[in-house]
Amino acid sequence: MARIERRTVLQFAALAAATPWVVNVLRTESAAAGNPEVAAPSPGVDAAFAFLDGLVPLAPPVLPGAPAPVASRALPRSYSRGYLESIGFDVAFSYDCALVVLAYLARGTADDVQRATTIGDVLVSLQESDPELAGRIRNSYIASVSVDDAGRPQIASHAATTGNQAWVGIALLALHATVDDDRFLVAALTLARAVVVTSFDDRGLPAFSGGRGEDGRVLSWRSTEHNTDCYAFFSALARVTADQEWADRAADARTFVESLWRPEEGYFLVGTIDDGVTPNVHPIAEDAQTWTYLALRDPAYAGSLDWAAEHLAAHDGDVHGVTVCHVASTDKVWLEGTAHLAAALTVRATETGDASGDLARAAALLDSVWVAQASSPHADGLGIPSASSDDLDSGFGDLVYASLHTGSTAWAILAALGANPLAVVR
């Protein structure tokens, strides 16, 4: 499967320089109940929010009698400091923006909600002003001016892959639930319908293919990760709208994901090759293990977390965690994936009564994240880097850098708050 442009930055791209549903970015049941075994958030969480706040300024107050200010046209820049900033990589990835929205809503102060809404407003404007994509969102935009004065999107990547659509949809639904603004629900429905029209694929098991590539071509492979995202997104839509279509589409995505479970090995395959049917057996990716558990929360697949912790273990000085896949570098730590795993272990602890000591394991992983926050090569004491050191070979033909990353920062916040952005209410 071709790796999508999302978490990591390809070198060539860098050089081109009902009850209303509330997304369970909510605390896990255990954390929400005040379980004393769930540790209080580290001071690193406040610092991480401060990093995001610096990228998402609050809108100025509206004075009595004055016109409302023009909404920000910017999105939070995905990477700061280090190599990526040095080459002027001024890009906001849609997936990262969705995670920042979800992190803000997980804490949910008035300022947090305002900042999340500001991002959501820009994403909806981008969707509405891009007729070529007919309701979809690009993988990335120019961060500093994502929408120009004429309302046109300032595009960094012309790709529009399926998983990114689902993550943005999840964030839009979370905003709708929080601020009760139908604009966000309409945008989420538009996005979902566009995904079905462009990516629904009935070769073999019905599911969703990769979406649109950088050159506009259809990506015919199918991804475990993408379909996990679609399962969470469409399940949420089904709850909000009571429309059976979305429950059916969610079931399609889940059945496909479950077909890629390999019980003898204890992991999920990454997806299929281009024919949409033949399993892709190489490499084995971290997020295909952690995100599936966060979404499915099924004991039958709980071993995927143990497989990831054991087989993807990585170490870089005092920083310990996991890497991207089983053929990636293990002498550098992928901090985003380490936070995924911490979040998933925390969720599993609430499901099992912490029978495996998952809370302690999650806390140890987050401790390493906070070490990297303070001491990585480009640390500012606030943001979380994507990798513990530069040039982590992802195993997918690209490199991950130690630049500070909104996605890694948001995942660390979610894990520390005991939040599950992919939770499906059962």
Tokens of 288: 């295909």
Q: How many domains is the chain built from? A: 1
- Decide if pLDDT at 9 tops 60: no
- Spatial contact of 392 and 400, defined as CB atoms under 8 Å apart: yes
Residue 40 lies in a domain: no
- Spatial contact of 366 and 359, defined as CB atoms under 8 Å apart: no
Residue 138 CA to residue 93 CA, distance in Å, equals 8
Distant-in-sequence, close-in-space partners of 282: CB < 8 Å, separation ≥ 6:
327
- Spatial contact of 200 and 194, defined as CB atoms under 8 Å apart: no
Q: Is the bond preceding 283 in cis, omega lying within 30 degrees of 0? A: yes
Q: Name the average pLDDT for the chain.
A: 89
- Spatial contact of 274 and 221, defined as CB atoms under 8 Å apart: yes
Residue 127 CA to residue 135 CA, distance in Å, equals 6
Amino acid present at 155: I
CB atoms within 10 A of CB 300: 10
Residue 423 lies in a domain: no
Q: What is the pLDDT of residues 140-185, one digit of tens each?
A: 999 999 998 888 999 999 999 999 999 999 999 999 999 988 999 9
Specify the pTM. Answer: 0.91
Q: What is the pLDDT of residues 345-381, one digit of tens each?
A: 999 999 888 888 999 999 999 999 999 999 999 999 9
Q: What is the pLDDT of residues 105-147, one digit of tens each?
A: 999 999 999 999 999 999 999 999 999 999 999 999 999 999 9
Residue 108 CA to residue 132 CA, distance in Å, equals 35
Residue 27 lies in a domain: no
DSSP letter for 315, please. Answer: E
Q: What is the pLDDT of residues 276-291, one digit of tens each?
A: 999 999 999 999 999 9
Residue 423 CA to residue 409 CA, distance in Å, equals 19
Over the range 149-184, which residues count as b (16 or more CB within 10 Å of their CB) and which as e?
eeeebbbbbebbbbbbbbbbbbbbbbbbbbeebeeb
Tokens of 37: 């075994």
Helix spans in 180-300 (H): 182-199, 224-241, 244-259, 287-296
Strands (E), 50-179: 79-80, 91-93, 140-142, 155-157, 160-161
* Residue 125 host element (H or E): helix 110-128
What is the span of the domain harbouring residue 320? 45-53+69-417
In this prediction, residue 64 carries a pLDDT of 66
Q: Which of 168, 23, 183 is nearest to 108 (CA)?
A: 23
Residue 337 lies in a domain: yes
- Decide if pLDDT at 65 tops 70: no
Over the range 245-274, which residues count as b (16 or more CB within 10 Å of their CB) and which as e?
ebbebbebbbebbbbbbeeeebbbbbbbee
- Spatial contact of 168 and 194, defined as CB atoms under 8 Å apart: no
- Decide if pLDDT at 22 tops 90: no
Residue 37 lies in a domain: no
Residue 36 lies in a domain: no
Residue 5 lies in a domain: no
The stretch 252-274 carries a mean pLDDT of 98
Portion of the chain with pLDDT greater than 90, in percent: 82
| Domain CATH number, residue 383 | 1.50.10.10
